[in-house]
Amino acid sequence: MFIGLLQKVLKGDRIIEGYVSGEGESTIIGLDGKQKIYQAQKGLEVEVKIGETMQWQAAPDSDLEVYEICFPPYADGRFENSN
Q: According to the model, what pLDDT value does residue 75 have?
A: 85
| Distance between CA atoms of residues 47 and 61, nearest Å | 27
Domain boundaries, the chain: 7-81
Decide: pTM greater than 0.75.
Answer: yes
Q: Is the pLDDT of residue 2 over 80?
A: no
Amino acid in the structure at residue 44 = L
Q: What is the pLDDT of residues 15-67, one digit of tens each?
A: 999 999 999 999 999 999 999 999 999 999 999 999 999 999 999 999 999 99
